[in-house]
């Protein structure tokens, strides 16, 4: 059995600000995903240009953001995931178009985009969806609003966005013709690498254990989404992950150790469970949504008071920073990324507009920008923003506005500065010590999940074990947030949190290793989680 991954008194490592600022984490080959993202724009866009609607063709981008949400998902569910994201984007665009048609830019438009931003932030955070995050839903709302305000017909905007969604669904499935098992195989390979790194480490840390556990959970989810455990397909992948899972928990040194299909670990908890658990005002998702809402509204209203046209850009700039959650160190890095990337992106947009591209050429530029977004958004947000900025401006129809483009560029720069500044201040003004309550809340969630496991003893249900794994991941993340926000306070609280996390993993290990599936020493485990 592994020793605890770190001494209880050892804090998670504090990420260096400079390291986060210039980080380029490895994410594997991204160019196939980038090509799919580019094609999702190019196919319907060029078709609309050839059909005689070059101005409306730009709006397909509002729907093609959906393709970004399907990458990495097994093909068995990918089309549904992309279509669901597309439906959310269309709904956001419809709300924005309706507001753009009914009211001038101002208080109401800022509030509407902010509400969309809050809802998207809560859902994405509660479900732990990761990149590309909630930004694109707010961007679709703001883009459709700006397009209608500039004179575009609402039905044309929504029709083109729907064409973009349809294109995204089709293009996202193109890889199934070449290798239908690639997404889940890549997920298993990532889990194996993370577990091997954890096992091989001389002094494993909370971060390495969390990385291994999260990758393992993601791999099981991918296999279940692909239907392999239930259908008995790809037995090699299932066996590989079982072996990796065994190494992670040190469950059995016996190579003959096997589990019947009905005993395989389950995927992540369902959508309903994840959304309901995060309703608490102490949850990471609720705090993040609260801060995002406050920052977006204040930034937008300041832009209105300053007399800057289309204040939604300030709202989006605040959202980009605050969607990071309660970790102020990472959010401040994201603020610098947003500002620097937007400045470079605005310059790029201005230079592109000086060339006066139109028709197919303009659509190809959009496709290249979408390719770049997919290529770099998981690695460094500053670089991604260089592509997102002109892409968002073109999708909103800014290129069709009369007069020179540089005044619009200057407005967007001012709005970015307002949004970023407000977002940074909001972290210290809105629930500045929320990380304390969130840390305590995650501890409570771990204890509750552990007691649910024990309530099913002597043979705990797989669903309760799955939920405990999910809560343990959240407890580790809450510890990292606390260390980044308030190191001295976290140093006093982390030993108890670390001990609780270790006990939770020990309980999962005991369930995994029980030769007949019957958990031993239930009363002893109950005493551990009685606090």
For tokens 């393709």, name the residue.
Answer: 67
- Confidence class for position 83, pLDDT limits 50, 70, 90: very high
What's the pLDDT at 24? 66
* 283 closest CA partner among 274, 272, 292: 274
Cα distances from 350 to residues 57, 214, 342, 401, in angstroms, run 20, 42, 12, 13
Highest-pLDDT range among 18-22, 30-34, 160-164 = 160-164
What is the rounded distance in angstroms from the CA atom of residue 145 to the CA atom of residue 273? 33
Tell me, yes or no, if the pTM score tops 0.85.
yes
Kindly report the number of other CB atoms within 10 A of residue 456's CB atom.
15
Please identify which residue in the block is written with the tokens 């089709």: 170
Structure tokens at 482: 């606390």
Helices (H) and strands (E) in the chain, counts: 23, 0
Measured from the Cβ of residue 473, the count of other Cβ atoms closer than 10 Å reads 20
Q: What pLDDT, on a 0 to 100 scale, did the predictor assign at position 4?
A: 44
Task: Return all residues near 72 (Cβ < 8 A) that are at least 6 apart.
Answer: 183, 186, 187
Q: Which of 9-18, 197-206, 448-457 has the lowest mean pLDDT?
A: 9-18
Kind plus residue range of the DSSP H or E element containing 109: helix 107-127
Among 348, 350, 346, which Cα is nearest to 413's?
346
Does residue 250 register a pLDDT over 80? no
For 310, residues 6+ apart whose C-beta sits below 8 A from its C-beta are: 105, 146, 149, 411
Q: Two tokens at 30?
A: 């991204």
Whether 458 shows a pLDDT value over 90: the answer reads: no
From the CA atom positions of the chain, what is the Rg in Å?
A: 24
Q: Which of 21-30, 85-94, 207-216, 292-301 has the lowest mean pLDDT?
A: 21-30
């Amino acid at each position: 059995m592994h020793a605890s991954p770190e001494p209880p008194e050892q804090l998670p490592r504090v990420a260096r600000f400079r390291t986060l600022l210039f980080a380029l984490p490895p994410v594997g080959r991204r160019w196939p995903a980038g090509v799919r993202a580019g094609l999702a724009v190019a196919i319907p866009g060029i078709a609309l240009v050839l059909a005689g609607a070059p101005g409306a063709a730009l709006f397909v981008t509002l729907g093609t953001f959906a393709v970004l949400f399907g990458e990495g998902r097994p093909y068995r569910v990918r089309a549904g995931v992309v279509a669901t994201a597309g439906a959310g984007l269309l709904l956001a665009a419809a709300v924005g178009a309706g507001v753009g048609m009914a009211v001038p830019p101002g208080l109401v438009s800022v509030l509407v985009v902010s509400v969309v931003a809050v809802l998207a932030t809560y859902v994405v955070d509660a479900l732990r969806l990761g990149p590309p995050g909630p930004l694109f839903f707010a961007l679709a709302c703001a883009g459709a609003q700006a397009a209608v305000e500039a004179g575009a017909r609402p039905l044309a905007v929504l029709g083109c966005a729907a064409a973009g969604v349809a294109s995204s669904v089709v293009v996202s499935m193109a890889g199934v013709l070449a290798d239908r098992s690639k997404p889940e195989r890549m997920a298993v390979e990532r889990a194996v690498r993370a577990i091997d790194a954890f096992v091989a480490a001389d002094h494993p840390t909370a971060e390495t254990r969390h990385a291994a556990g999260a990758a393992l959970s993601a791999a099981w989810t991918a296999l279940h989404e692909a239907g392999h455990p239930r259908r008995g397909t790809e037995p090699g992948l299932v066996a590989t992950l079982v072996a990796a899972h065994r190494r992670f928990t040190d469950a059995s040194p016996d190579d003959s150790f096997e589990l019947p299909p009905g005993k395989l670990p389950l995927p992540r908890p369902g959508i309903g469970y994840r959304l309901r658990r995060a309703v608490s005002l102490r949850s990471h998702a609720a705090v993040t949504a609260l801060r995002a809402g406050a920052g977006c509204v204040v930034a937008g209203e300041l832009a209105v008071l300053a007399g800057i046209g289309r204040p939604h850009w300030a709202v989006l700039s605040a959202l980009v920073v605050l969607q990071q959650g309660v970790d102020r160190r990472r959010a401040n890095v994201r603020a610098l990324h947003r500002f620097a990337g937007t400045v470079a992106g605005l310059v790029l947009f201005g230079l592109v507009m000086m060339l006066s591209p139109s028709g197919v050429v303009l659509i190809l530029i959009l496709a290249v920008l979408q390719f770049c977004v997919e290529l770099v958004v998981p690695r460094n947000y500053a670089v991604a923003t260089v592509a997102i900025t002109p892409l968002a401006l073109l999708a909103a129809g800014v290129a069709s506005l009369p007069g020179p483009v540089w005044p619009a560029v200057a407005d967007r720069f001012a709005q970015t500065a307002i949004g970023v500044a407000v977002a940074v201040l909001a972290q210290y003004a809105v629930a500045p010590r929320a990380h304390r309550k969130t840390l305590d809340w995650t501890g409570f969630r771990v204890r509750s999940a552990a007691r649910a496991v024990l309530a099913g003893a002597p043979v705990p249900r797989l669903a309760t074990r799955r939920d405990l794994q999910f809560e343990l991941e959240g407890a580790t993340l809450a510890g990292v947030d606390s260390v980044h926000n308030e190191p001295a306070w976290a140093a006093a609280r982390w030993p108890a949190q670390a001990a609780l996390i270790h006990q939770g993993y020990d309980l999962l290990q005991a369930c995994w290793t029980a030769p007949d599936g019957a958990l031993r020493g239930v009363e002893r485990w109950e005493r551990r989680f009685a606090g």
